[in-house]
Amino acid sequence: MAQPTTVRTVVDVSPEPGAHPVDPGDDARLIVALRAGSEAAFALLVDRHRAPMLRVARFYVGSGATAEDVVQETWLAVIRGIDRFDGRSTLKTWMYRILINRAKTAAQREDRMVAVADMDEREVAPTEPTVPADRFARDGQAWARSLARPPPPWQPLTDDHVVTSEAVGLVLAAIAELPPTQRLAITLRDVDCWSAREVCHVLDLSDANQRVLLHRARSKVRTELASYFESGDDG
């Protein structure tokens, strides 16, 4: 197929004259278009995936510039390899596996290798509670070991745009403080809206480990939000 000499970071996503619109969710049509050298199909991929690809690359490499280079290398690999794509995974997960392999190579060059599989074993080990112990009734009390302090209702507060903006900022800050694999899992699932199957496939995680990582990450973020809204109630 025809290959662009450079990968564009700013693309014109309008279709070529006479071209049929390409649904980015339709792998089969998109693959056919890419193999035919469609710049519109390639532009759709870049428009949809460039930002999340940069986020994923940054989990592995030490700088934004290196992450940009990793993403550019990934696009070139996608263009050159699309004819060999065998359909055993989705186009999306195939691309992100390429991305992570390129990111790991770049991290090795930086002497900054972050192996998700290695971190996973530590982060899923039963070493910490996912909900603070002081939220439960103690033994001997009514409803022992049940939640003594349920989360406060948030809905009335979320109608306030200022509060919502602050809460979103708090969520992003809480995610940034998570251990690496928990941070990657919650980013892919809850920020980029990946399915559990996609996360497991791309990160080589078991379904059980993916669920543990996501549960712990969400619990920590919810704890930060609960503290925020409770402090608002006190004020």
> At 171, which amino acid appears?
V
Helix 91-109 vs helix 196-203: crossing angle, to nearest 10: 40
**What residues in the chain have per-residue pLDDT under 50?**
1-24, 115, 117, 120, 156-158, 235
DSSP 15-65: PPTTPPP--TT-HHHHHHHHHTT-HHHHHHHHHHHHHHHHHHHHTTSS-HH
Q: Which residue segments constitute the domains of the chain, with CATH numbers given? A: 27-109 (1.10.1740.10), 116-234 (1.10.10.10)
pLDDT value at position 146? Answer: 61
pLDDT value at position 172? Answer: 86
Question: E-strand spans in the chain?
Answer: none
Find all residues with CB under 8 Å of 198, minimum gap 6, and list them.
90, 92, 93, 188
Count the Cβ atoms, other than its own, within 10 Å of residue 34: 22
Identify which of 93, 115, 104, 116 has the alpha carbon closest to the alpha carbon of residue 67.
Answer: 104
pLDDT value at position 143? Answer: 59
Q: Average pLDDT of the chain? A: 76
pLDDT value at position 155? Answer: 52
> At 138, which amino acid appears?
R
